Amino acid sequence: MEVTKIFLDEDEIPKRWYNIQADLKTPLDPPLNPTTKEPIKPDDLKIIFPMELIKQEVSQEKYIRIPEEILDVYRIWRPTPLYRAVKLEKKLKTPAKIFYKWEGVSPPGSHKPNTAIAQAYYNMKEGVERLTTETGAGQWGSALAFGTCLFDLECTIYMVKISYEQKPYRRILMKAWGAECIPSPSNVTQAGRRILEKDPNSPGSLGIAISEAIEDAATHDDTKYSLGSVLNHVVLHQTIIGLEAKRQLESIDLYPDMVFGCVGGGSNFSGLAFPFVKDKLNGKKPDLDVIACEPMACPTLTKGIYTYDFGDTAQMTPLLKMYTLGHDFVPPPIHAGGLRYHGDAPLLCKLVNERIIEARAFYQNEVFKAADLFAKTEGFLIAPETAHCVKAVIDEALRCKETGEEKVLLFNNSGHGYFDLSAYDAYYEGKLPDYEYPEELVKKALANLSRI
């Protein structure tokens, strides 16, 4: 009988996060001040982030200790199980061994609370009373609502108005965890009012919601802002996924040949992959293949440009060196809402640029087909975001069938799909279009960026 899942005991939760900045051959290009274009000073960030997170953002320490109070909350659902997808392997008749880390067991149903809990904790320690953030479909908003709830902070979430109206379930979850969820653009901020004056029926966008959340934090002394992906400290907190997975595979004497994850802003992928990429960087496992998976409709890593760009449409955030489709990128309405960001984590982008990590892009119908096969074999109905890397894993497993290779494939199963049933419905009804983001628009965005 093959092993189906591997658990760790509660006391085997990693006690430190892994910081890949310590193992980079050359340092990360610094974020730039949006007005002066000079490297940002830690003090510039103090108005929106607590000191400890600013320190983690630039830290060169290889390991950062996880405070006991954070571990105590992690223990609600961590360590998460590592599954072997035996039934999917059988169906594919592949000699490859497929493993996945299952992050859908957290209360909000994804990997996002790994950082939400940590961010809420450090803000609480520094006397902050309220956090603000933005959310699109609501995955990040619900995770931060959960985190702030457990550390007794208030939480204000600016949710893109069209999602607020069309996707009520995660908004209700935010309410259950005590957060205030405001449809954006709103009357609460100047940024919101300015949009509403021009267009009272604006459906909102992530860029507008970011501007509102930052303005709210910057104009209130007891309030700070929180981001759910992209930044170094967010990626750091997510490495608990890969550190656990490494131990779990070690316990059955295996090491992956290939590691996969889906990429929105890059946090869950990097969280699983970086503890393994460490061994690729230091020569312990030089032939490891690390595959970042994204939508054809938002092909940041496969078609984007590696340059400095703003994190938001309103050009308020620091400039980050990353692959980008341009800060005025308007995502096509694909159903993997969490994968529609124009940029990606600078750490991940640097490693893609140095060919340590490879990127692949997929159409949404082939992605849902993979998710459907996964549900029919492994049982779990996964998030449409996650399904992007399942598609890549299935392709690889079928390649192994041709060559007879017994590769060990590992992917991050970043969340469940129970709040995305209408997307599955559209797929089963044959109503999902396949988008490919056109090369001309990338070139046009480059023209806009060269002025920075």
To the nearest whole angstrom, how small is the minimum distance from the Cβ of residue 263 to ligand PLP? 5
With CB under 6 A as the contact rule, the residue among 383, 393, 394, 397 that binds ligand PLP is 383
Best CA proximity match to 443, nearest among 241, 303, 296, 234: 303
124 neighbors 52 (Cβ within 8 angstroms): no
To the nearest whole angstrom, how small is the minimum distance from the Cβ of residue 287 to ligand PLP? 25
Q: Which of residues 115-154 bind ligand PLP (CB under 6 A)?
A: 139
Q: For residue 25, which amino acid is it?
A: K
Q: Distance between CA 350 and CA 331 in Å, rounded?
A: 23
Q: Which of residues 277-306 bind ligand PLP (CB under 6 A)?
A: none
Q: Distance between CA 196 and CA 125 in Å, rounded?
A: 37
To the nearest whole angstrom, how small is the minimum distance from the Cβ of residue 81 to ligand PLP? 16
With CB under 6 A as the contact rule, the residue among 45, 54, 195, 263 that binds ligand PLP is 263
Q: Which of residues 199-228 bind ligand PLP (CB under 6 A)?
A: none
153 neighbors 131 (Cβ within 8 angstroms): yes
Instruction: Give yes or no for residue 265 binding ligand PLP (CB under 6 A).
Output: yes
Nearer Cβ to ligand PLP (195/213): 213
Q: Largest Cα–Cα distance of the chain, in whole Å?
A: 65
With CB under 6 A as the contact rule, the residue among 106, 114, 229, 248 that binds ligand PLP is 229
Binding mask 311-350 for ligand PLP (x = CB under 6 A): ---------------------------xx-----------
To the nearest whole angstrom, how small is the minimum distance from the Cβ of residue 400 to ligand PLP? 25
Binding mask 93-122 for ligand PLP (x = CB under 6 A): -----------------x-x----------
Nearer Cβ to ligand PLP (136/192): 136
Q: For residue 102, which amino acid is it?
A: W
Q: Phi then psi for 147, rounded to 5 degrees?
A: -65, -45
To the nearest whole angstrom, how small is the minimum distance from the Cβ of residue 43 to ligand PLP? 27
Instruction: Give yes or no for residue 267 binding ligand PLP (CB under 6 A).
Output: yes
Q: Distance between CA 352 and CA 387 in Å, rounded?
A: 21
Total number of residues binding ligand PLP (CB under 6 A)? Answer: 19
Strands (E), 35-135: 63-65, 82-84, 97-102, 130-135
Instruction: Give yes or no for residue 449 binding ligand PLP (CB under 6 A).
Output: no
161 Cα distance to chain centroid:
22
Paired tokens of 93: 């008749």
DSSP letter string, 227-250: -SSSSHHHHHHHHHHHHHHHHHHH
* Helix or strand (DSSP H, E) at 448: helix 439-449
294 neighbors 388 (Cβ within 8 angstroms): yes
Nearer Cβ to ligand PLP (96/213): 213
Residue numbers at the binding site for ligand PLP (CB under 6 A): 110, 112, 139, 229, 262-269, 338-339, 383, 385-386, 414-415
